[in-house]
Amino acid sequence: MKLTRRLAGALLLAAVILAALALQHARHSTARDGKSRGDRSHAAFGFGRSAKQREQDPLRHHRLAQRLLEATRGTAMTNEAGDGESNFHKMVDSFAADDFAAVMDELASLDQTGDLRLKLLLAWTERDPHAAASFVGDGPLPVEASRIVAGSWAKHDPAAALSWARGLSQEAPRQQALIGCGSELAFHDPQQAIDLAIEAGTIPATEELLNQAAGAWATKDPGSAAAWANAITDTALREKLVGGVASAWADQDPRAASKLVIDSMHDGSLEENALVGIVQRIAFKDMAKAREWVAQFPEGRMRERAEAELARITGRMGGSPLTSQH
């Protein structure tokens, strides 16, 4: 009887040991299979390979370029734009350092890839601004490429970005790079951004940067920003900049902002648009105050436009014209 019980216990122990071994083996097999599938998936496009293995696969960068194109167009990988964006960044995060230039060249040989090349250039700049900047300086790219590199680089190292921008030999890329640096600096140092806009010269983007910097300056020191804008000798540019300063100032002191518009702007259409913009800002904060202020406007087209704008905003807000507040 004792022998039977011992034999049964031994058999039970053996069964437990065998079950544990089987479970351990199954776990290892699953891990190996998962790793193998992941390796095959990455290997299909060259991710995770050594430099020597990548050199032995001359079509790898062509496949990467095609895959990026498919990801951004929402084909093959996903039909959802958000997922496509996510897949783009996942792919780029897996790039080796020497992949970017080669894939950029591959994309250049394909049709309708201009936007994708600029997008990849931005991702490259965020990874290695020196390498991306060198590529822009050496290769034929749209002039806005230098603006993209300079703006992204200036977020982390404005001095290095500015030094690179000023060192570009061709005028158009240099101008765009200066604008890129200025756009990034506008909120932190609007006066330096204005200096960079002037240094860039007369191009369409210059006016955009001046307006951006003037608005940022007005949020910190509206009086100084207004004085600077009023000193601009070019009449059309001055009126636009004064309007931008007034729009930013309106958040702090709408009456002072409207006085600036009335005293400094002489183009009837621009003046009218600027005042209506200020009315909008006040109305979305305090509709009753906006109506009280507009009631003081002299009779005429400007008052009619302001009242029409208040009625439109009231309708959107769905409240009483006299009590609506936001």
For 232-246, how does the pLDDT look when each residue is reduced to its tens digit (9 = 90+)? 999 999 999 999 999
Domain presence at residue 295: yes
Q: Which of 106-110, 120-124, 206-210 has the lowest mean pLDDT?
A: 106-110
Q: Is residue 14 part of a domain?
A: no
In a domain, 34, yes or no: no
- Cβ of 296: how many Cβ atoms within 10 Å? 9
Domain enclosing residue 95, as ranges: 61-127
Q: Has residue 206 been placed in a domain?
A: no
Q: What is the rounded CA–CA span in Å between residue 300 and residue 304?
A: 6
Is the pLDDT reported for residue 42 higher than 60?
Answer: no
Q: Which residue would you say has higher pLDDT here, 49 or 105?
A: 105
Q: Which of 73, 95, 127 is the last residue of a domain?
A: 127
Burial (0-12, 13-18, 19+ Cβ within 10 Å), 66:
middle
Q: Is residue 168 part of a domain?
A: no
Question: Of 97, 127, 157, which one is at a domain's C-terminal end?
Answer: 127
For residue 277, is it within any domain?
yes
User: Coil, strand, or helix at residue 59?
Assistant: coil
What band does 14 get if pLDDT is binned at 50, 70 and 90? low
- Tally the domains of the chain: 2
- What lies within 8 Å, CB to CB, of 291 at 6+ separation is 310, 321, 322
Residue at 19 is within a domain? no
Residue 207 is assigned to a structural domain of this protein:
no
Q: How many residues does the chain have?
A: 326
Model pTM? 0.72
* Domain final position from 127, 152, 167: 127
